[in-house]
Amino acid sequence: MFVFPEKEEALEKATLLRRLAAMFYDSLLCIALLMVTTGVYMMIQKAVIGSEAYKAMNDAGQTIHDPLLSSVLFITLFLFFGYFWTRTGQTLGMQVWHIRVQTEEGTSIRWMQALMRFFMAGVSIACFGLGYVWMLFDKQDRTWHCIFSDTKIVRVPKRK
C-alpha cells in the first residue's frame, strides 16, 4: 500500500464537473482499449476454430451475444481501472484533471476496494447517474461508489 506524500490540508475537494471530465477522458481510452481487446479476441477465436467456421458463425449472428467476449471485456475494464487505482490512485483521465482516489488515511486503495468501487460505479451510472449526483447532497462530497468502497476522490495540487 502506497502512502501519498501530500498532507491532507493541501488536498482540495474534487468537484463533480472535474470528475465528469476525467470520466469522459477515461471513457475515450476505454473505448479504444475495448476495441483492441475485441480485435485480439476475434483473431484468437478465428485461429482456434478456423476462419471458415468463424465466418459462418458470424454470418449466422452467433457471435453477437458471446458471453466469453463479454466476460473478457469486463475483466479488461476492471484491470485497467484497478491497476491505476491501486498503484497511483489515478487513471490517465484523473491525472489530466488532477484528481485521485485514495483511502481516508491517504493511501492507495486495495484491489478489493477497487473491485467494489468498479461495481458500484456501474450501478451509479445505471441509475441515470444518480450515484454521482449524490455527492451534491453528501456532506463529505462522496458518490455511491466512494461510500460503498470506503474511498474518496481528492484534487491533488499540480506538480511544479
The C-alpha cell that represents 131 in the structure block: 450515484
d(Cα 150, Cα 12) in Å, to the nearest integer? 18
CA distance to 28, 54, 64, per residue, from 96 (Å): 13, 41, 35
Task: Tell me the average pLDDT across 16-43.
Answer: 96
Listed by start position, the domains of the chain span 9-155
d(Cα 58, Cα 115) in Å, to the nearest integer? 33
Task: Tell me the average pLDDT across 95-104.
Answer: 95
- pTM greater than 0.85 (yes/no): yes
User: Bridge-partner residues for 154, per DSSP?
Assistant: 13, 100
> Given the DSSP bridges, would you call strands 152-155 and 12-13 parallel, antiparallel or unpaired?
antiparallel
Q: What percent of the chain has pLDDT over 70?
A: 99
pLDDT digits over 108-122, tens only?
A: 999 999 999 999 999
Spatial neighbors of 88 by CB under 8 A, at least 6 apart, are: 2, 95, 100, 108
Task: Tell me the average pLDDT across 128-137.
Answer: 95
d(Cα 3, Cα 51) in Å, to the nearest integer? 50
pLDDT digits over 30-75, tens only?
A: 999 999 999 999 999 999 999 898 888 888 888 888 899 999 999 9
* Residue 125 one-letter amino acid: I
